[in-house]
């Protein structure tokens, strides 16, 4: 989907164009897939998804259930996501921002949608110079 904003791909060699503003969010997140359970740390969130800093990378297209709690709240948010892109540091290439993956929200419950939108409305968006 092209929003006409001139945004560049979120990771090298990807055709993904960001559709929503990103907001800073650094909280522990529990990740559960069909066969694994592990934790990561969010770096940012948008209405469409979030970035998770983790070395336990999944494949693009994998479905992951996430559970996290927004700062200042006590009720965990549980969302289903799909991996859209990965960023990995290797000996040959250092990715700015560290290893992790971008996931998009899918099948959001009304409660999860309300929690995410409530958090986003209370924050200032991050500015990323894509030039």
Bridge partners, residue 30, by sequence: 39, 67
Q: Which architecture characterizes domain 23-121 according to CATH? A: Beta Barrel (2.40)
Q: Is the pTM of this model over 0.75?
A: no
Domain boundaries along the sequence of the chain = 23-121
The pLDDT of residue 86: 92
Higher pLDDT among residues 128 and 48, named by residue: 48
Higher pLDDT among residues 1 and 97, named by residue: 97
Q: What average pLDDT does this structure show over 96-111?
A: 89
């Amino acid at each position: 989907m092209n929003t006409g904003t001139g945004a560049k791909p979120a990771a090298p060699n990807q055709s993904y164009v960001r559709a929503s503003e990103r907001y800073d969010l650094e909280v522990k997140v529990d990740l559960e897939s069909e066969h694994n359970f592990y934790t990561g740390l969010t770096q940012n969130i948008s209405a469409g998804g979030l970035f998770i800093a983790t070395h336990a990378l999944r494949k693009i297209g994998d479905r992951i259930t996430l559970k996290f709690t927004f700062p200042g709240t006590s009720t965990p948010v549980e969302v289903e996501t799909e991996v859209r892109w990965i960023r990995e540091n290797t000996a040959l290439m250092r990715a700015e921002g560290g290893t992790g993956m971008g996931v998009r929200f899918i099948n959001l419950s009304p409660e999860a949608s309300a929690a995410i939108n409530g958090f986003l409305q209370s924050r200032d968006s991050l500015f990323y110079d894509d030039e």
